[in-house]
Amino acid sequence: MTDIAPHGLHHVTAIASDPQANVDFYTRALGLRLVKQTVNFDAPDTYHLYYGDASGSPSTILTFFPWRGVPAGRQGSGLTTATAFSVPPESLGWWQNRIAGMGVEHEGPRTRDGEEVLTFRDPDGLVIDLVAAPGDTRSGWDGVADVPAEHAVRGLHAVTLSERLPDPTVELLTGLLGMTAAGEDGDRARFAMAGGGAGAVLDVAADGRAKGLQAGGTVHHVAFRVADRATQALWRSELVEAGLHVTEILDRQYFTSIYFHEPGGVLFEIATDEPGFAVDEPLLELGRSLKLPPWLEPTREQIAASLPPLRVPS
């Protein structure tokens, strides 16, 4: 029996094009907080932007690599094709009016998996669902945007994996990753972590389309929560013993990570809750300036010169 049991979603990372348009949409339209302005540690001439609640709590985080000039991606099998956020049930109509008032095309609300869902796309075409989720006690963020606290986005709710052959993915989720089946809706199956609920749900959709193209407006990877590095190391050993190709533990400054692909091709990450985003700047100043890990500080001047200016809401 597996010892691996993620606490839920940690974050979702996607690909964008223009960093300023990305900041404007997620802070001003959706009302998320920019909790970290840093760079892609593997390609430091590109920003890595993190959004979440007031402190960037695990399970609230959506991050982006905004690669200027990146071509548009294509939805299809082998990708994470939707990222869902939780909002209070009574707020879904408010959000529909807000999205429509901004000229953003949307679908719904409609019932799916027993939940009311409003769907739209960000400026790069990334599919975002807002889900009316009763019982979600997370507080959300009501900072720079004119989003009242009672309507604020609470955090991640779920992700949807589109799979041409769902069974191998389902076997990994329920076997090695310790998730439990939590219902079906047509060609979709739901899986729960740590009892399920907002921020601890993953959906697998059977998808007969050709393999998707991972580029602008698509998800790069999905990260799951582990409490600490010691547990992460144990989980890594178990994944390797099961025959998966898993990276070494990588220092991402705000958490440590391991990565591997599930059978359908989606890149999974397991990330620690510790140490969090206040490790290199005060909580009240999160996201206001460019932060670099110690190993990149010697080249700060060159890195900063390679990045476009970014106006961050105060």
The tens place of each residue's pLDDT in the chain, 314 residues long, gives 689 999 999 999 999 999 999 999 999 999 999 999 999 999 999 999 999 999 999 999 999 999 999 999 999 999 999 999 999 999 999 999 999 999 999 999 999 988 999 999 999 999 999 999 999 999 988 777 789 999 999 999 999 999 999 999 999 999 999 999 999 999 999 999 998 999 999 999 999 899 999 999 999 999 999 999 999 999 999 999 999 999 999 999 999 999 999 999 999 999 999 999 999 999 999 999 999 999 999 999 999 999 999 999 87
Structure tokens at 188: 């979709």
Is residue 12 within 8 A of residue 83, CB to CB? The reply is yes
Q: Is the C-alpha dihedral spanning 84, 248, 215, 304 positive or negative?
A: positive
Burial 274-298 (b: 16+ CB within 10 A, else e): eeebbeebeeeebbeebbbeeebee
Radius of gyration of the chain (CA): 18
- The pTM assigned to this predicted structure is 0.97
